[in-house]
Amino acid sequence: MPANKTPGGLNPPRILFYTGAMPPRSDPSDSTPSSVPRVRTHGDRRTLEFQPGDIQSEMLLSQPDALVLDYARAMMCFALFVPAPRHIVMAGLGGGSLAKFCYRHFPHTRITVLEISAEVIALREAFCVPPDDARLRIVHADAADYLRDAPASCDVILVDGFDAAGMPAALGSAAFYADCRRALRAGGVLAANLLSYDPCHDAMVERIGSAFRGRVCDFPGIAGNNHLLFAVRAGAGDTGLAARRQEGFARRGGLRFGFLNRLLARALVAWLAWRPV
């Protein structure tokens, strides 16, 4: 899809809104195609789902910028490697949790969000995603196409692109991860959200390791079935912050224990939200 095409000229998006309980997955009356996003509001919670019960994103209406899900907090561990990024690129908008948090707590950072679904982009107001400005751009684009043509353009790439069927094949290919490395500046980091039960999980882990020449680490147990990999663009003998931390975390398995890795993510998010900027 062309990188700067906006959804304004497309057919009206199909979206389902629910208040309270949603129809069960087996309800025969719910014949809407699974690619149609569903928005459910129940009390203070608003979720984005493609299938009832499969939560893609969650927001608190009382704190729309807060990170609710474990994996979203864990994605912020990119700041351990790149504390002050100039440009963050996100593959996948969803309910905008990552975009909103970074927009608020990295005020000197430019943020580009790549989202292939017009239906998802149309939900930005429902999920309190700020309008585009000099720092934030939501681009209607295929992330694989966009990053292929953006060498050395960003410091952080967050890959969190899923549809009703899971991660699109284009976002898990060897070519895509090689393009991600080329799109990062020296010392930059890729944070990739994989599902541990995905049949292609092991292959994607291997592809990331190959593309980044082994400069990969993770934090075991940090977010349940979400397996987050952090890959650094660094060469042999690199002594920069990102390279040093990648080596240390890879050697120890993050902080060694799952509960400590989860505490690390929570503490980091709390610090990012508190720190003076």
CA distance 7 to 123: 12
Q: Of 142, 160, 179, 218, which residue is the catalytic one?
A: 160
Tokens 């608003």 identify what position? 46
CA distance 74 to 220: 11
CA distance 271 to 79: 11
Name 118's Cβ contacts closer than 8 Å, sequence gap at least 6.
7, 10, 13, 140
Structure tokens at 28: 């025969």
Q: To 5 degrees, how large is the angle CA 106–CA 191–CA 54? A: 100
Name the amino acid, one letter, at 167.
M
- Residue 125 burial class via C-beta count within 10 angstroms: exposed 0-12, middle 13-18, buried 19 and up: exposed
Structure tokens at 149: 């043509």
Q: Which own/partner pairs from 8-14 qualify as long-range (CB within 8 Å, at least 24 positions apart)?
A: 10/118, 13/118, 13/119, 13/121, 13/122, 14/119
| Inter-residue contact 171 to 206 (CB < 8 Å) | no
CA distance 246 to 249: 5
| Inter-residue contact 231 to 201 (CB < 8 Å) | no
Is 160 marked active-site?
yes
Question: Which residues are identified as catalytic?
Answer: 160
